[in-house]
Amino acid sequence: MAEDADPARKSIGARRNPDSAEAILVAAEAVLVEAGYAGFSIEAVARRARAGKPTIYRWWPSKAALLLEIYQRGKRVDSPDTGNIEDDLVGFLKSLFSHWRETSSGSVFRSLIAEAQSDPAAAAALAGYSKGRHSHTGQMIERAKARGEVAVDVDAALVADLIGSFAWKHLLTNRLDEDEATLRRAVRYVVQGILPQSR
């Protein structure tokens, strides 16, 4: 989706206009933030970007594809490696939630959830993204196992469930105002269950 170069290019001619692609992505994000998911239409994005609809459809096959690229563009979540599983997880959650809270990513993500309920492609993309994040937190757990900090047979899905409970709250209330102490308590709650000595 929207690669920088097309290796299968058949012949010469005009290349993709990067300014146009950029303008479309910026406009899409702006429309989503200002008008919400209800006002997020391809027409509106094209108007705002001063682009033609065919140009959008040429590069993004669906609204979901556009949403997903917006979400992934702004995405840069810390994945600290402090040598301590509790600090790792707290740092990761803090980064993820502030990312949802302080950028447009939160509303983009919620729009993607909505889109996934009617577009199977969006659902698949979302599932893939979720899987990737699981492997991300899974690596933290693996590192902790290698350090002997965590038993080798623990289920890393517990962390996914923890994120899920926060994500659910974010989805229902559109708020995610947990302070660090609350976050740390929740993480410790999970970590208690996977510390070797507690088993």
Q: Is 119 in the site for its own copies (CB under 8 A)?
A: yes
Taking the chain, what is the end-to-end CA distance rounded to the nearest angstrom? 46
Q: Is 41 in the site for its own copies (CB under 8 A)?
A: no
Structure tokens that stand for 61 in this block:
């096959």
- Tracing tokens 């301590």 back to the chain, one arrives at 84
- In the DSSP assignment, the letter for residue 15 is P
Query: Which of 178, 135, 129 minimizes the C-alpha distance to 159?
Result: 135
Measured from the CB of residue 32, what is the shortest distance to DNA in angstroms?
A: 12
Measured from the CB of residue 103, what is the shortest distance to its own copies in angstroms?
A: 18
- Write phi, then psi, for 193 (nearest 5 degrees): -75, -15
Q: Is 111 in the site for its own copies (CB under 8 A)?
A: yes
Contact call for residues 68 and 169 (beta carbons, < 8 A)? no
Cα-to-chain-centroid distance, residue 71: 6
Give, for 65, the enclosing helix (H) or strand (E): helix 63-73
Q: Please identify, among the stretches 7-15, 36-44, 59-67, 89-97, the one whose residues bind its own copies according to the rule CB under 8 A.
A: 36-44
Q: Is 147 in the site for DNA (CB under 7 A)?
A: no
Site string for its own copies, 163-192 (x = CB under 8 A): -xxxxxx-xxxx--------------x---
What's at 17, amino acid-wise? N
**4, 7, 8, 11: which one contacts DNA (CB under 7 A)?**
11
Task: List residues binding DNA (CB under 7 A).
Answer: 10-17, 20-21, 23, 39, 41-44, 49-55, 57-59, 62-63
Task: List residues binding its own copies (CB under 8 A).
Answer: 36-38, 110-111, 113-115, 117-119, 123, 126-127, 130, 161-162, 164-169, 171-174, 189, 193
